[in-house]
Amino acid sequence: MKKILALDIGGGTQDILLYDPAKNLENCLQMVLPSPTQLVAAKISKATAAGRPLFLHGEIMGGGASTRAIKKHLAAGLPVVATPQAALTIHDDLARVAKLGIMIDGEEPPGAVPVRLGDIDVAMLKRLLSEAGEELPTDFAVAVQDHGYAPQESNRAFRFRYWGKFMADGGSLSDLFFRSAPSYFTRMKAAQQTLPGALLMDTCSAALLGAMTDERVREAASHHAVAIANIGNQHTFIAIIRKERVEGLLEHHTGSMTAEKIIRYLDRLLTGTLTNSEVLADGGHGSIAPPGRVLPALVAVTGPRRNLLAGKDFYFAAPQGNMMLMGCFGLVAAAKKELISLGGVGAR
């Protein structure tokens, strides 16, 4: 197995692991940096403060902070021009983007501040690795949260149909990664254009596989059901896993959650009574309950906002003692699973 650069692109941070099978994992290069959307938002805010027009180009990327910064720029009465591809970051329906006051055009206007959009900055990665005495490897694994291309419907509902199909197909953890993203996963497609041949995952999927690399979680799941709650900066994802299969799941926005609400949702998911329509009506993405009551041997909690459940009777999973690299550990685990399935050797 060769070196792999694993990139877990979130809403608050981008977590980076240069996995080298010749080293102990603790000695591999690891970084936690501001997410691309946060970095782009900072550039846009500088243009706003300078009172200059904005030109957005590049690829579709995660929104959140960057989209809020664009809207603040418009609210200040300053022009925004965006290429069609970059404009998809704001919304899949370009007519709606235009209604916000953004001009869709491929030409950079005079005097504008150009800001490149994209989830992956290869030039930055090369500089960082070079400073650490490393070269950019040829193998990559990338996780982004992709709601899918849905210009005429709720992207929450569209995204959760993917999870519904995944569960209907058996819920195997090995189905959570791929080399060629479906056409409707436009963020993943953009990532693969930047890093051709990269292994791709959703950030929630990467967190699940990462949590399963925790020795205690892995041991419990090999004999019993476990519940894994990944409380991210933007999204909370809970899954019930037994052996290598997902039996139930829930996705919601972390900003809408409290400790009490998470516990209530978790309890009802475990009893099989939580409905998809209920979560969707509450502003979440949805849920798929198991067919009956589940008594988990372990409830593991992870994610950058895991302290929402601090002091509760849950296990805080931290593979290799590093919770923030959970998604990267999941990406590397996926690459090892793929290598084993192909009959490869050395996937240690």
The pLDDT value recorded for residue 153 is 67
For residues 117 and 40, the answer to whether their CB atoms sit within 8 Å is yes
Q: Which residues pair with 34 in a beta bridge?
A: 13
Can you give the pLDDT at residue 338?
79
Token representation of residue 224? 């019993």
Domain range annotation of the chain = 141-180+205-341
pLDDT given for residue 120 in this prediction: 96
Q: Sign of torsion, CA 226 230 323 340?
A: positive
pTM of the model: 0.90
Q: Give every residue of the chain whose pLDDT is below 50, as ranges.
A: 344-348
DSSP 8-state code for residue 172: B
**What gap in Å lies between CA 60 and CA 62, rounded to an integer?**
7
